[in-house]
């Protein structure tokens, strides 16, 4: 199964200037345990949103039913965050190209 993500690069160029979650996290005091709990909750919430999206895609026969939704969701957030951060640092669109490729490959392999 091939998944196309042609809109990712367009979204980065038009709407985003990197990841707003990362931008906020880089500015916050990570020594504060309450703040770290809050940040972890934000990331966990983001992973849960991706999980719900993938489950809907499975239900609609757009993804194989045997993928590990939790693992794939966590990895998608991981890939996005890394690509967005590197793109923001370098303004090199190859990181977005890599994101499209790696997410497609991950969804193909489950």
pLDDT in tens, 80-96: 988 988 888 898 999 98
pLDDT attached to residue 52 = 96
Q: Are 101 and 88 in contact (CB under 8 A)?
A: no
* Highest CATH level, class, for 7-109: mainly alpha
Between 6-15, 24-33, 64-73, 86-95, the lowest mean confidence (pLDDT) is in: 6-15
Return d(Cα 79, Cα 28) in angstroms, integer. Answer: 22
Return d(Cα 81, Cα 62) in angstroms, integer. Answer: 24
Answer whether residue 41 shows pLDDT above 70.
yes
pTM for the structure as a whole? 0.73
DSSP assignment letter at 65: T
Confidence at 69, pLDDT banded by 50, 70, 90: very high
Structural domain boundaries in the chain: 7-109
Q: Which residues contact 58 (CB under 8 A, 6 or more apart)?
A: 64, 65, 67, 69
């Amino acid at each position: 199964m091939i998944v196309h993500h042609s809109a990712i690069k367009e979204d980065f160029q038009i709407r985003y200037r990197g990841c707003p979650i990362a931008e906020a996290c880089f500015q916050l005091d990570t020594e504060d345990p309450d703040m770290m709990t809050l940040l972890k909750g934000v990331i966990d919430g983001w992973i849960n949103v991706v999980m719900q999206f993938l489950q809907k895609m499975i239900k609609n026969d757009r993804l194989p039913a045997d993928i590990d939704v939790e693992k794939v969701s966590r990895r998608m957030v991981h890939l996005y965050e890394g690509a967005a951060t590197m793109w923001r640092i370098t303004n090199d669109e190859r990181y977005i190209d890599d994101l499209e490729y790696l997410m497609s490959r991950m969804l193909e392999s489950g």
